[in-house]
Amino acid sequence: MTDRTLRALLVGAAVPLLLAGCAGAASPPAGASAASATAEPTPAGKPSYLPGSAPAADPAAVVRSTVTAGDPRLVPSYVPAGMTAAVRATAASYEVTYTDDQHTRGITLAVNQGVNPPPVPSGGANTDRSFRGVRASYAVYDVSAPLSLRHLYWQEPGSWSSKVFSNPGIEYFLSGTGLTEAEFFRVASSLQPVG
């Protein structure tokens, strides 16, 4: 599987998130803060963000002030150097996306979004593993490519008033592309409550 195909899969995984969270390109979803308004066009060479998201110097502050549905509300305390954050948040859910200027590396944390990732192809692997004290699903889309698209899905213990699924806990979905497995899990292991 080529890097272009993997990027297309990552974008394909993000489309349901965008459709579910955006009431329209001109206005943020109901209950959204100013931080979730559509980002202004950026000059060439600068990151462009998912519709409905806005650049955020401090994603934890945006999540802390906007998301009120429950706890814990986690964000990574570590991301690789050179990546810029954008946040899309409502009172009931949030998504933090980190990307580099070349869009060769990306990380997305989606919380209470009802994520439905694309199926793992034959050259990939989908396994269960222990993560943060619970069972998590971990997928790598091309096991022969060290920087392959990968994602981790788990139900974080906690309370959430407006859940997408009826499973116990809170739905967390972390995906990354252009990262080694060690880099991906360094980000995953750095998840901290925003307070």
- pLDDT of res. 53: 64
Q: What is the pTM of this model?
A: 0.74
Where residue 52 falls among pLDDT bands split at 50, 70, 90? Answer: low
Where residue 82 falls among pLDDT bands split at 50, 70, 90? Answer: very high
Domains in the chain: how many in total? 1
Question: What is the arithmetic mean of pLDDT over 67-94?
Answer: 95
Q: Residue 84 sits in which domain range? A: 3-193
Contact indicator for 88, 94 with CB cutoff of 8 Å: yes
DSSP characters for 116-147? -PPPP-TTSEEEEEEETTEEEEEEES-TT-TT
Distance (Å) of CA 191 to CA 34, 60, 152, 167: 24, 11, 13, 21
Which residues are within 8 A (CB) of 108 and not within 5 positions of it... i.e. 6 or more apart?
10, 14, 95, 96, 97, 98, 173, 174, 175, 176
- pLDDT of res. 10: 45
DSSP code for 187: H
CA dist., res. 155 & res. 131, Å (int) = 10
Q: Which of 67, 74, 71, 116 is nearest to 93 (CA)?
A: 67
Q: How many CB atoms lie within 10 A of CB 182?
A: 8
pLDDT tens, residue by residue, 155-177: 999 999 987 878 889 999 999 99
Where residue 193 falls among pLDDT bands split at 50, 70, 90? Answer: very high
